[in-house]
Homo-oligomer: A and B are copies of this chain.
């Protein structure tokens, strides 16, 4: 039988896959120590175990799935770093959950492609509604919701012309690239470099006005994806190119200094450059520092950049804002033009799922729209609907709203809040352990579920010796297979250490895996203490 969509074949296949994944989950939950968190294979090990050429003849039936399972177990699994392990504390978490996995399966089984409203209206409208749900849940003001425009003037482009709304992007990297393009579009329109001075002038005449020298601002602690977006967008030729990009210094808590932002803006404005984009970070990757959005917005206004686009990157931290007690992290967001966070990090929704909201959808679609003939259709031409392809880099899109919808339905907001609070409590306990042990020090204010710590400097050793001991400690932890942590470099707390602002090697303990329980954190702390004694 050639390829088909056969319900019996599917049943057999899902029986295999369900059993295989179920066994993996059981092992993760009940015997995690049997799985080294950080894969121990060497470069090329997996590659060399795979045939060099594709098979000519296929597989079939139960025997086929048994052959697949064998290769999964023998070849693939030893090359897996277990992100879902209860002792995975590296980077940021990458949550999965039963309802999200089911959502992926339903999306795959339906096989719809939601590039346009018309190519599956439910794919677009479920997304619009779920993004409104989640936006409200994290306390976003009404201007970021789709209802801000649906009630307004109909008949413009993109479902009502102005107003806001949310969309699922692949990642926060893509979201910041979209925001940056929207910012550039709006600046060009404002300066008369595109169209007739209105944002609806897409496809209108391109004036020969000199291209403005646009500038971009983020803190030195902002995510690398901001720099990558400036490279892709052509505002920088490499990560070190500072002709249009300004990395603003941070205070002792690693937050962007709004006074330095204001100075940088003033200098650029004074030199005839046009500040176009500012990125505030709520929960930096290194240490989950929380930029003060309100102070940044004020600095922009006072320094002459009130028209620049303010984007808030809350990739990791946004999830926690489903809890009212953490929504103050987003204070000032009412001044922002866009904000994103990733339910695929800390909100139980499989990668990829980045939620991006904007109050200025016209600039987003202005920057991202192209309408070739083969995509024209009645609903879009009438401007009654949202076509999400105009909110993102790719044209095609899968039905990702299903998994987010199922996660929110399955756990309810109450369940999601409890989930976040459990990790926050574990992080607080871990911080307490570190602080209670004089061999260690906490080296950045803990704002959420990340603890940045290290072996404290000994009186007699140099800074690089301390770094080296910490490097060794991390290597031992990860080599043990019992836990996986990563590191970063942070400026020493000023005043606390004689070498002041110098960079130091720091261990990051990010507590946010689905299976992590207090006993795992306690066990890991005991492991760290034990291995610390082995470090000379």
Q: Does A109 contact B (CB under 8 A)?
A: yes
Q: Does A270 contact B (CB under 8 A)?
A: no
CB distance from A216 to the nearest CB of B (A): 12
Stretch at the interface among A289-297, A415-423, A438-446, A457-465: A415-423
Contact partners of A375 in chain B: CB under 8 A: 224
1/0 per residue A420-460: CB within 8 Å of B? 00100000000000000000000000000000000000000
9 pairs of residues in contact across A and B, judged by CB atoms under 8 Å:
A7-B29, A43-B384, A67-B409, A68-B409, A80-B120, A96-B111, A100-B108, A184-B234, A185-B237
Which single member of B29, B75, B224 contacts A122 (CB below 8 Å)?
Answer: B75
CB distance from A155 to the nearest CB of B (A): 12
Name the residue in A26, A79, A137 with the highest tally of chain B Cβ atoms < 10 Å from its Cβ: A79
11 extra interface residue pairs, beta carbon distance < 8 Å, beyond A10-B101, A76-B122, A83-B119 = A5-B98, A7-B29, A14-B18, A43-B117, A46-B125, A54-B130, A56-B413, A59-B410, A234-B235, A239-B370, A373-B489
Give CA–CA (A57, B129) in the complex, Å: 18
Which single member of B111, B113, B240, B488 contacts A203 (CB below 8 Å)?
Answer: B240
Which single member of B18, B121, B126, B173 contacts A39 (CB below 8 Å)?
Answer: B121
Name the residue in A14, A188, A413 with the highest tally of chain B Cβ atoms < 10 Å from its Cβ: A14
Knowing A45-B121, A81-B118, the reply to whether A174 touches B11 (Cβ < 8 A) is: no
1/0 per residue A70-95: CB within 8 Å of B? 00100111111111100000110011
CB distance from A233 to the nearest CB of B (A): 5
Q: Does A97 contact B (CB under 8 A)?
A: yes
Q: Are A79 and B125 neighbours in the complex by a CB distance under 8 Å?
A: yes
Give CA–CA (A99, B67) in the complex, Å: 13
Q: Are B43 and A2 neighbours in the complex by a CB distance under 8 Å?
A: no
Knowing A234-B233, A350-B108, A351-B398, the reply to whether A47 touches B125 (Cβ < 8 A) is: yes
Stretch at the interface among A257-265, A389-397, A524-532: A389-397
Q: Are B111 and A94 neighbours in the complex by a CB distance under 8 Å?
A: yes
Q: Does A308 contact B (CB under 8 A)?
A: no
Q: Are B57 and A374 neighbours in the complex by a CB distance under 8 Å?
A: no
Which single member of B203, B243, B411 contacts A206 (CB below 8 Å)?
Answer: B243
Give CA–CA (A81, B410) in the complex, Å: 26
Give CA–CA (A133, B285) in the complex, Å: 37
Q: Does A477 contact B (CB under 8 A)?
A: no
1/0 per residue A118-156: CB within 8 Å of B? 111111011011101110110000000001001000000
Knowing A64-B410, A203-B240, A396-B352, the reply to whether A46 touches B373 (Cβ < 8 A) is: no
Q: Does A25 contact B (CB under 8 A)?
A: yes
Nearest B residue to A403, CB-CB = B108
Contact partners of A286 in chain B: CB under 8 A: 373-374
Nearest B residue to A229, CB-CB = B393
Q: Does A331 contact B (CB under 8 A)?
A: no
Give CA–CA (A9, B402) in the complex, Å: 19
Q: Are A29 and B5 neighbours in the complex by a CB distance under 8 Å?
A: yes
Q: Are B13 and A99 neighbours in the complex by a CB distance under 8 Å?
A: yes
Knowing A122-B76, A350-B111, the reply to whether A410 touches B58 (Cβ < 8 A) is: yes
Give CA–CA (A486, B232) in the complex, Å: 33
Contact partners of A415 in chain B: CB under 8 A: 2-3, 57-58
Name the residue in A22, A133, A514 with the highest tally of chain B Cβ atoms < 10 Å from its Cβ: A22
The 6 A-B residue pairs with the shortest CB-CB distance, nearest first, are: A79-B122, A234-B234, A21-B109, A58-B412, A54-B133, A7-B22
CB distance from A454 to the nearest CB of B (A): 14
Contact partners of A16 in chain B: CB under 8 A: 102
Q: Are A111 and B84 neighbours in the complex by a CB distance under 8 Å?
A: yes
Give CA–CA (A50, B106) in the complex, Å: 18
Contact partners of A224 in chain B: CB under 8 A: 370-372, 375, 395
Q: Does A535 contact B (CB under 8 A)?
A: no
Which single member of B109, B194, B232, B385 contacts A25 (CB below 8 Å)?
Answer: B109
Q: Does A278 contact B (CB under 8 A)?
A: no
Q: Does A521 contact B (CB under 8 A)?
A: no
Contact partners of A136 in chain B: CB under 8 A: 53-54
Give CA–CA (A82, B234) in the complex, Å: 39
Q: Does A495 contact B (CB under 8 A)?
A: no
Q: Are A412 and B488 neighbours in the complex by a CB distance under 8 Å?
A: no
CB distance from A80 to the nearest CB of B (A): 5
Contact partners of A121 in chain B: CB under 8 A: 39, 41, 43, 45-46, 79-81
Knowing A43-B385, A171-B396, A232-B177, the reply to whether A108 touches B119 (Cβ < 8 A) is: no
Give CA–CA (A418, B23) in the complex, Å: 36
Contact partners of A3 in chain B: CB under 8 A: 97, 348, 411, 415, 419, 514
Q: Does A523 contact B (CB under 8 A)?
A: no
Q: Are A394 and B105 neighbours in the complex by a CB distance under 8 Å?
A: no
Q: Are B56 and A412 neighbours in the complex by a CB distance under 8 Å?
A: yes
Contact partners of A240 in chain B: CB under 8 A: 203-206
Contact partners of A43 in chain B: CB under 8 A: 117, 121, 379, 384-385
